[in-house]
Amino acid sequence: MVSLRPMLAPAPCVQVALLLLLGCAGGGPGESPVATVEYFLSAMDRSDTDVSGLRDAYGVLDAGAKRALQERALRAGSLAGRDFEPWRMLAQGRFRLRFEPAPAGGMSARIDGDEAVVLVKGVRPGRRAEIPLVRERGGWRIKLEIPAMPKGAQ
């Protein structure tokens, strides 16, 4: 399995493992699991030069990931003496794919009720990633596992 690890800011020692790759499907973000993953990847790619990409990527994360990023933003703000938006905890320019996805038919979704997994196949044989999603508020959201902050961490 291939992993992609966006760094969380401002604590560079904290990494979040996220298994993602590119693909192609119709629909807007949230309409289908594949469209949601595509939107997230496009937004993160755009975030290298456009900070609004981080805000857009944050918008398709699941509630648990958003809560964790909100907690980190509060802690960062208390240390810095200023407010941070939760989406700013996704560090701009730190997002990289681990392998090149197959251009045609490289993404498919397995849906089971309100949960889904998007399977991404790479151009090279044996390269693949599975991205978990959940249906929340009527749309598909990426389940991003963010490690809990250590107790007493500042």
pTM for the whole structure: 0.75
What are the tens digits of pLDDT across the range 26-71? 467 889 999 999 899 889 888 888 889 999 999 999 999 999 999 9
Nearest 10 degrees: CA dihedral of 126, 91, 141, 151? 100
In the chain, which stretches have pLDDT less than 70? 1-27, 92-96, 152-154
* Token pair of 4 as six digits: 């992609």
Pairing of strands 139-142, 115-121: unpaired
127 vs 146: CA distance, rounded Å: 24
DSSP per-residue codes, 137-148: TTEEEE----PP
With 0-12 / 13-18 / 19 or more C-beta atoms within 10 angstroms meaning exposed / middle / buried, residue 32 is buried
pLDDT for position 68: 93
3 vs 6: CA distance, rounded Å: 10
Q: Answer for the pair 111, 8: CB distance below 8 angstroms, yes or no.
A: no
